[in-house]
Amino acid sequence: LSLLAAASAAAQACSWLWLRSDPPALRPAVPTALLAALHLLQLGFFFRCIHALKVGWKVCWAKAEEEDEQRHMAFLSHDISMLRLFETFLENTPQLTLLLYIILRTNKAELSQGLGIGTAFLCVSWSLLDYHQSLRSFLQDKYELSWGSSIIYFLWNLFLICPRILVVALFALFWPYGVALHFLLVWLAMFLWVSLQGTDFMESSGPEQLYRAIVAVILYFSWFNVAQGRTLYRSIIYHGFILVDSTLLALTWLLGQAPSEQHSYLLLVLSAALPCYLLGLGLRLTYYKWLHPNMQVQQEGGYDEVDAREERDGLGFRSFLEPELVNRRMQWLAHTQFPLSQPARQHCLNGAAAV
């Protein structure tokens, strides 16, 4: 319960900090004191969803300034998608690991529990796909994820996350309290790695440390790019580290606690974990080699221009018409996620006029 409370508080803190950094024209027409109270009551995310529904309804019926409202909707929907991603890895994924551990410990599972675990795995992978699609909605280029690309993106995340959660649950069978120590050590390594990459997501250094701490939790379970430039070598280092770490966890359980007859099926499940992880890596390589929308940009040799500007810098970003505003958070994330973006941009406050 304390972990759930801490995770919820971290997500609400991010939501509050983002609202405070947004330009006044894009903030909800609600008193600041009421917004603060909602976030203290852990209702900030719920309020964001209600506000997005309200703006979305206006988009459906808008006659004038429809394009500006659509950009506003992209602004709101991405924040919601990212908060959902934080919630998935801060709250849902640890709970999924705990539930899997309890079932393995008791060797009892109801049909509803099995369905719940399967659905939870799908939801974790879906949150990553939703985040990626939401981030692409901020771009002005026409090369969006196709159905085929979306399916492959979903599957490679699923095949990489499932073995990771399984081996953590198996290690908990051998040493329940050791999972906390293992998580702390890996989290510290990931936090240091993220810090060394020099993230620039939040508006000040204090909140930036919170963002890095949350990303380190995500990296404990799944890949999450936080730096600009090509990701090939960083990805190789990360997946190599996770593969070695997961193998050591599995071997610790296998050698330290010989599977009993009632757990004999776990040997078959564990033997399928490595091929599953390698299949996920293969699907990821396939996606970035042939199915990524940016590959179509490179093949056709064309880039979209930034709105209301003559310069080209790889990918066009959605900005508001009056005034010319840009969501700096989304712009920075798009630069880190899409390799055609150029890193050379001046730092500006979130919502400030693009420079």
Q: What is the pLDDT of residue 168?
A: 95
Which residues of the chain are modeled with pLDDT < 50? 64, 142, 301-315, 320-324, 340-349, 351-355
Q: What is the pLDDT of residue 291?
A: 77
Q: What is the pLDDT of residue 259?
A: 59
Q: Give per-residue pLDDT as tens, 269-308.
A: 888 898 999 999 999 999 888 877 666 555 554 433 322 2
Strand partners, 170: none
Q: What is the pLDDT of residue 347?
A: 44
Quick one: tokens of 318?
Answer: 């959605």
- The whole-angstrom separation of Cα 28 and Cα 26 is 7
Taking each helix axis as running N to C, give the angle between helix 265-286 and helix 232-256, from 0 to 180 degrees, rounded to the nearest 10.
Answer: 180
On whether the CB atoms of residues 266 and 297 are closer than 8 A, the answer is no
Choose among 354, 271, 277: nearest CA to 318.
Answer: 354
On whether the CB atoms of residues 55 and 61 are closer than 8 A, the answer is no
Quick one: tokens of 161?
Answer: 């996350």
User: 86 phi and psi, to 5 degrees?
Assistant: -60, -45
DSSP H helical segments within 66-107, as ranges?
Answer: 66-87, 93-106
Q: Kindly state the greatest CA–CA separation across the chain.
A: 69
249 burial via Cβ count (<10 Å: 0-12, 13-18, 19+): buried
Q: What is the pLDDT of residue 262?
A: 60
- The whole-angstrom separation of Cα 48 and Cα 303 is 33
What pTM was estimated for this model as a whole? 0.85
Quick one: tokens of 310?
Answer: 């003559």
Choose among 106, 82, 238: nearest CA to 169.
Answer: 106
Choose among 120, 125, 88: nearest CA to 10.
Answer: 88
Q: What is the pLDDT of residue 78?
A: 84
- The whole-angstrom separation of Cα 253 and Cα 6 is 29
Q: Give per-residue pLDDT as tens, 70-118.
A: 777 777 888 899 999 999 999 999 999 999 999 888 888 788 888 889 9
DSSP state of 289: I
On whether the CB atoms of residues 152 and 83 are closer than 8 A, the answer is no
Q: What is the pLDDT of residue 225?
A: 87
